[in-house]
Amino acid sequence: MKCVLTIAGSDCSGGAGIQADIKTMEANGVYAMSAVTALTAQNTTGVYGIMESTPEFLESQLNCVFSDIFPDAVKIGMVSSVPLIQVIGDSLTKWKASNIVVDPVMVSTSGSRLLKEDAQAALMERLLPLASVITPNIPEAEVLTGMSIVSEEQMEEAACRLGELYPGAVLIKGGHQVSDANDLLYDQGKLVWLRGERIDNSNTHGTGCTLSSAIASNLAKGFSMEESIRRAKAYISGALRAGLDLGKGSGPMDHGYAIPDTDF
Ligand SMILES: Nc1ncnc2c1ncn2[C@@H]1O[C@H](COP(=O)(O)OP(=O)(O)OP(=O)(O)O)[C@@H](O)[C@H]1O
Ligand SMILES: Cc1ncc(CO)c(N)n1
C-alpha cells in the first residue's frame, strides 16, 4: 500500500481541504495521512473563520508522520502564514520528502482569502522550490508571475516563466477564465496541453484540492508526472460527472463515485 500525506487546512463541510484530500486518496487506492495547518469554519457559501495550528504543533504532526509511516508522496494545500510555511519547508527538507505536489492555495472557490498577504513571498521562496509539481489556477499563476493571463498563449508564457524559475514541473489549470478543463503542463522544458471535456456542473467546491491530491496519489503509485496528471483529470471528471448537488452555494463533488457501495 502506498502512503500519501496531505499538509492542508480542514474544511468542516467536507468538500475541500483535508477532507477532500483524504477522500480523493482513498478513492485512488492509497493510504491517506494528514497534518492539519488550520481549522476553517466554512461551507459551500463561504469561509466564516480560520484557526491556525501553531507552528510547533504542525511540526510535531509532521515528525509523527515522517518518523513512523514515511509517505511516498506529499500534497501541500492551504498554508496561511509565514511560520507555518517555514516549519513545512524545514521538515520536508529534514526528512528528505519526495514527490511533493504544491497547490498554491490563495483564495477559496467562494472568494475568501486563505493565504496572508506576507505569506505569499514565503510560499514562493520556501515551498515552491521543493515541489515536484506546482498546480496554480489562473489567478494564482497571475500572482506568481505578475502577468495577466487571458489567453492560451499567455498561459504558455506563464508556464514557461514559472518552469524556468522553479526546478519542478508546472501545471496551470485552465479554470473558468480561459478554457475550463484545459490545463497546461510544463515539464523539463516541454509544454503539453492536457485537454479535458468540460462538464456542465457548477458544483466545483474543492476541485483544486482534489486534483492535487489525485496527482500525489498517482505519483506515489509510480506513474510519470504526465500520466499522474492525466489520471487525476480522469478522476475529477468522473467526480464532477456524478452530479452531486449539496448545499446552498458551489457544492462539493462526489469523491467516492467509483467506490462500490458494499453490503458489509
Ligand atoms: N467543469 C469542469 N469540467 C471538467 N473539468 C473541470 C471543470 N472545472 C474544473 N475542471 C478541472 O478541475 C481541475 C481543477 O481546476 P480548477 O481550475 O477548478 O482549480 P482551482 O481553481 O484551484 O480550484 P479551487 O476552486 O478548489 O481553488 C482542473 O484539472 C480543471 O481542468
Ligand atoms: C481548507 C481549504 N483549503 C483549500 C480550499 C480551496 O478551495 C478551501 N476552500 N478550504
| Each residue's pLDDT tens digit, 181-218 | 899 999 999 999 999 888 988 899 999 999 999 999 99
Q: Are 99 and 132 in contact (CB under 8 A)?
A: yes
- Burial zone of 190 (CB within 10 Å; 0-12 exposed, 13-18 middle, 19+ buried): exposed
What tens digit of pLDDT does each residue of 85-131 get? Answer: 999 999 999 999 999 999 999 887 777 778 878 899 999 999 999 99
Q: How many helices (H) and strands (E) does the chain have?
A: 8, 9
Q: What is the ipTM of this complex?
A: 0.97
- The yes/no answer on whether domain 3-241 falls in CATH 3.40.1190.20 is yes
Q: Whose CA is nearest to atom 17 of ligand 1?
A: 175
Q: Of the ligands numbered here, which is closest to the C-alpha atom of 12? A: 2
pLDDT at 178 over 60: no
Average pLDDT over every residue of 127-153:
94
Q: Is 78 in the pocket of ligand 2 (CB under 6 A)?
A: yes
Q: What is the DSSP string of 130-176?
A: G-SEE--BHHHHHHHHSS---SHHHHHHHHHHHHHHSSSEEEEB-TT
User: Other CB atoms closer than 10 Å to residue 197's CB: what's the count?
Assistant: 12
d(CA 34, CA 65): 8
> 181 alpha carbon to ligand 1 midpoint, in Å?
7
Give the catalytic positions in this structure.
Answer: 173, 204, 206-209
Contact 220, 228 (CB under 8 A): no
Ligand 2 atom having least distance to the Cα of 9: 1
Evaluate whether 87 touches 62 at the Cβ level (below 8 Å): yes
pTM, entire model: 0.97
Ligand 1 nearest-atom number relative to CA 135 = 22
